Chain A
């Protein structure tokens, strides 16, 4: 592995700014690795290095002149193929939109552009972000860099595979029911699902108006903080984006974790835990104790109720968005998304509105149950990473069970709207494992504080797959 592609996002950005590494040099290193590993991992949908190389040359020319550049100047990235860039095809991982050209650029991409980041292309994803495994009937299944026979998780499959294999140092994903956190866990990464409303969704393909969030996958917590620093903030193009001030997330990463109170709710979240994963998570909790955190067992509200309401909300909203295509061109859908969209067409208006009405009380109830702690520690996924073959269930009767098993520990947090950071916890069963830190609304800073502290104390985030 080349030294450049092994650098984290923050390390690479600092090295380019300090002119220790050229932006063109970094971009070419990324391109070489993409060309070598893209066929094996199938993580890119479109790879287009020329605009990035052109922009990299400009960065290299500007640096000696001491021109003010953004915090990500010259850093090559790539993003899930659901972020629109004006004039570029955004397939959304689908047959319906395989040739669709975006008319405007997503706010998230525009902010990364303004920060100086380069864009090498679009990454594979579950069809319309509606699948947790990484299978894709139109563009081929995405592969896990730790073991190409195993799933990456989804729906941000290409983002996790590309960042995990060190093709790029960070990528945008999206999280409606675990689609950032689950792939982060399965591919050995850090990944942030921000608070609902923290990051603008303008120009990002919608799946569920109520549950969608935009966030990064990266190799370190500091990298996630750096990405959120660039992405967060109000946006006239998205009235649901919060106008709340954006704190300094990078300074939060430098704070010690000592004194933080971490709640661990065992019921529901540990009910069906794999033994090896359970041991890995207990080890992570021991590290937090060693850092001076107070780890306490807590009881939280009924997650089965939260999950039921979340499923109805997601199903009804996704099917509302897709109904026209379901009627006009159903043959362009893969079997699994087709079956899921059918489900959403069978909910009544009263059921959907009840799912919405319960959301406020459910959040208040959950927050009351965590009022004695600063953050909550949860598993991200509780089973060994499945193979692509054993989860290739399409739209069969087994599909709802596979989907529920993969998303069970993540989905409730989307319904509650709270921020959640998946952090590497080491290895179990020979593959990477993560945990989630869940915080209060708009308090991503405390998650970064705890997550960065454990990464200073461990080397779990430095473990890399042997991809060649």
Chain B
């Protein structure tokens, strides 16, 4: 995300980032968020957070 978007999201949480911090965070999180974006585009439409509980429960029974 670009630095303005980073600053806007922090502001939406009522938090004001220190000067220069939005740009630093934009760079710092760039790789992880790009990776997450690629994951997101490949996830099945039906995938939901509760899948993990089911998966770990089934895994223990194998």
Contacts of B40 in A (CB 8 A): 350, 354, 357-358
Cross-interface CB contact of B36 among A308, A323, A343, cutoff 8 Å: A308
Cross-interface CB contact of B43 among A244, A304, A351, A357, cutoff 8 Å: A357
Q: Mark the stretch among A49-57, A384-392, A437-445 that contacts chain B.
A: A437-445
Contact A342–B10 (Cβ < 8 Å): yes
Contacts of B57 in A (CB 8 A): 441
Inter-chain CA distance A351–B30, complex, in Å, is 13
With A327-B14, A361-B43, A440-B62 in contact, is A309–B36 under 8 Å at CB?
yes
**Minimal beta-carbon separation of A304 from chain B (angstroms):** 6
Inter-chain CA distance A347–B37, complex, in Å, is 12
Contact B25–A312 (Cβ < 8 Å): no
Inter-chain CA distance A357–B53, complex, in Å, is 11
Contact B47–A357 (Cβ < 8 Å): yes
With A323-B15, A361-B47 in contact, is A196–B36 under 8 Å at CB?
no
Smallest Cβ-Cβ distance to B15: which chain A residue = A345
Contact A363–B52 (Cβ < 8 Å): yes
The size class of the interface chain B forms with chain A is 35 or more
Inter-chain CA distance A347–B62, complex, in Å, is 36
Contact A441–B29 (Cβ < 8 Å): no
Smallest Cβ-Cβ distance to A401: which chain B residue = B28
Cross-interface CB contact of B39 among A308, A323, A327, A350, cutoff 8 Å: A308
Across the A-B interface, how many residue pairs have beta carbons closer than 8 Å? 115
Cross-interface CB contact of A360 among B35, B36, B51, cutoff 8 Å: B51
A62 interface residue (CB < 8 Å to B): no
Contacts of A304 in B (CB 8 A): 35
With A345-B13, A359-B49 in contact, is A354–B36 under 8 Å at CB?
yes
Q: Mark A295-312, 1 if CB is under 8 A from B, else 0.
A: 000000000110111011
Inter-chain CA distance A32–B53, complex, in Å, is 46
Q: Mark A359-370, 1 if CB is under 8 A from B, else 0.
A: 111011001000
Contact A326–B60 (Cβ < 8 Å): no
**Minimal beta-carbon separation of B28 from chain A (angstroms):** 5
Contact A244–B29 (Cβ < 8 Å): no
Among residues 22 to 58 in chain B, which have CB atoms less than 8 Å away from a CB atom of chain A? Answer: 22, 24-25, 28-29, 31-33, 35-36, 38-40, 43-44, 47-57
A434 interface residue (CB < 8 Å to B): no
Contacts of B59 in A (CB 8 A): 363-364, 367, 440-441
Inter-chain CA distance A400–B25, complex, in Å, is 10
Contacts of A405 in B (CB 8 A): none
With A327-B14, A357-B43 in contact, is A308–B32 under 8 Å at CB?
yes
Contact B13–A323 (Cβ < 8 Å): yes
With A312-B33, A342-B21, A440-B62 in contact, is A358–B56 under 8 Å at CB?
no
Smallest Cβ-Cβ distance to A339: which chain B residue = B21
A101 interface residue (CB < 8 Å to B): no
Contacts of B38 in A (CB 8 A): 305
Inter-chain CA distance A364–B55, complex, in Å, is 7
Contact B49–A244 (Cβ < 8 Å): no
**Minimal beta-carbon separation of B35 from chain A (angstroms):** 4
Smallest Cβ-Cβ distance to B28: which chain A residue = A400
Inter-chain CA distance A244–B2, complex, in Å, is 46
Contact B49–A353 (Cβ < 8 Å): yes
Contact B60–A440 (Cβ < 8 Å): yes
Contacts of B13 in A (CB 8 A): 319, 323, 345
Inter-chain CA distance A356–B60, complex, in Å, is 20
Contact A343–B17 (Cβ < 8 Å): no
Inter-chain CA distance A357–B39, complex, in Å, is 10
State the 9 A-B residue pairs at the shortest beta-carbon distance, nearest first.
A360-B51, A356-B49, A308-B35, A359-B52, A442-B60, A441-B60, A308-B32, A441-B59, A354-B40
Q: List 30 A-B contacts (CB under 8 A).
A: A304-B35, A305-B35, A307-B32, A308-B32, A309-B39, A312-B32, A319-B13, A323-B13, A323-B14, A327-B15, A342-B21, A343-B25, A343-B28, A343-B29, A345-B9, A346-B6, A346-B9, A346-B10, A346-B25, A346-B29, A351-B36, A356-B49, A357-B43, A360-B47, A360-B52, A363-B55, A367-B55, A397-B28, A440-B60, A441-B59
Beyond the given pairs A312-B32, A357-B49, 13 more chain A to chain B contacts, judged by CB atoms under 8 angstroms and listed by A's residue number, are A309-B36, A323-B14, A343-B25, A343-B29, A346-B1, A346-B6, A346-B17, A346-B29, A354-B40, A356-B49, A359-B49, A361-B43, A417-B56
